[in-house]
Each structure stands twice: as C-alpha cells, then as structure tokens.
Amino acid sequence: MSKRNGEAEPNGQDHGIKTQIRGFVAQAVSFGLTISPSDLASKICKETGIKDEKWAKYTSIEIINKVNSDLYRRTKKNERIVFIPHCLRNVKVCKATIGEEGYRCAKCGGCVIMSIVEECEKNEIKYFMVAGGSIVMKLIDKYQPKAVIGIACYNELKMALEKTSEKKLPTQIVMLSKDGCMNTEVELSEVKEKINE
C-alpha cells in the first residue's frame, strides 16, 4: 500500500537512531535537567557519535518533549490544541478552504492532513491548519488550551516553543521529516502517538 502524499516512509535506520536518541534522552532527563536542552543535545550527540545536524535538532526536540511529557499527559484531550502546518497539503489536489483561523481540511484524501484531522476528531482535540507564527499565538490566546501539539520544521518549532514556554503550556512537538514551503512530509505514526498520549 502506497503512502499518502505528505506521509514520510518509515526508514529502518532512522527508526533505530530515533530509538537510541529517545533512550539517551529518557535516561538523561530522569536524573533531572541540570544543563540547557541544547547543551544536553550536544552531549548526547557526542556520546552516540551522531554528527548529522538533523539528528542534533531531533535530539533537542525530544528533550523538550520528555521534559514536558508528564504535564502534557495530565491534560484532558479536549483541552489540547494541535497545530498542523499548511505546507503538508498536496497543493495540486487540496480542496481546503481558508478563513481567519487558517485552512479548513476538506478531507479530500490527497495528503496526510486528513488522517491527522480524523485522529484529532476521534480524540475530541481541537486542531488548526496554519502557516505558523502570529496566528498560532492568536489561536492560543483565543481558545486557552491547557496543552499544545505542534507539527512543524525545526525553526518554526523553536519560535513557537519560546511563546508556549512563556505561557507555561506543556508542548509536544513533531518535527517534519522533509521541510520546505510546500509539499512537506511527516511521520504520521509520530503524530498519532502524540495525539493519543
């Protein structure tokens, strides 16, 4: 069965590296975070021999996820918001409409967003498909969630995390497998894992 546009193909080697990173992160965070997440990410990458910048970024994201995970899990699902990047859309076939709160998925099945939206609806979680930046904060101010799931490229995630940290919102994040301005990709299994935690 072929993957839907926007859904990254699971890669055995990548999965192995992710598992290794998650193990190191869980161990390091369990002893208490005594250094900054970026310093800890550098330390973990050095210890594991990981030199690729992609994995350094993934490591720092996993540290933040782990630090926030207990508070995040304690929030009711209907008190969370999921932010889906509009760049995951398959622009050639997308039938989404746009309004002041971002795009509205038409569930045409042309990309992975339909599966994310259905997972959110099944769990009674509010979701928005947005470009990022200021609209995310406007929606957070308007709907006052108790926790946030963000799907984005590393740079967008970093900016959003600064804002959600200021508001003391436990945040779980999924980094895009392939970024860019359009037709990006994400591992759907990682998104579903966060939604269902």
User: Given this model, what pLDDT does residue 9 score?
Assistant: 59
More confident residue, 44 or 66: 66
98: domain CATH number?
3.40.50
Question: How far lies 169's CA from each of 148, 150, 166, 179, in Å?
Answer: 7, 12, 8, 25
Q: Model-level pTM?
A: 0.86
Residue 2: pLDDT band with limits 50, 70, 90 = very low
Query: Does residue 110 share a domain with residue 133?
Result: yes
More confident residue, 180 or 153: 153
**Minimum mean pLDDT range among 55-59, 61-65, 99-103:** 55-59
User: Given this model, what pLDDT does residue 75 score?
Assistant: 96
Query: Is it the case that residue 4 has pLDDT exceeding 80?
Result: no
Query: Is it the case that residue 61 has pLDDT exceeding 80?
Result: yes
Residue carrying the six token digits 């599966």:
115
> Radius of gyration of the chain from Cα atoms?
16
Query: Does residue 100 share a domain with residue 170?
Result: yes
Helix axes 53-74 and 37-48, enclosed angle (nearest 10): 130
Which residues touch 152 (CB under 8 Å, ≥6 apart)?
83, 85, 132, 160, 173, 175, 176
Decide: residue 77, CB within 10 A, 0-12 exposed, 13-18 middle, 19+ buried.
Answer: middle
Query: How many independent structural domains does the chain possess?
Result: 2
What tokens were used for 138?
């406007």
Query: Does residue 120 share a domain with residue 30?
Result: no
What tokens were used for 94?
């997308």
Q: Which of 35, 67, 99 is the last residue of a domain?
A: 67
User: Given this model, what pLDDT does residue 180 score?
Assistant: 76
Read off the pLDDT of residues 12-39 as tens digits, 9 standing for 90 and up.
667 777 887 888 778 777 767 666 777 7
Backbone dihedral angles phi then psi of residue 26, each to the nearest 5 degrees? -60, -45
Q: Specify the pairing of strand 102-104 against strand 147-152.
A: unpaired
User: Given this model, what pLDDT does residue 1 score?
Assistant: 35
Query: Does residue 89 share a domain with residue 139?
Result: yes
User: Given this model, what pLDDT does residue 3 score?
Assistant: 60
197 domain-assigned: yes
Paired strand residues for 151? 174
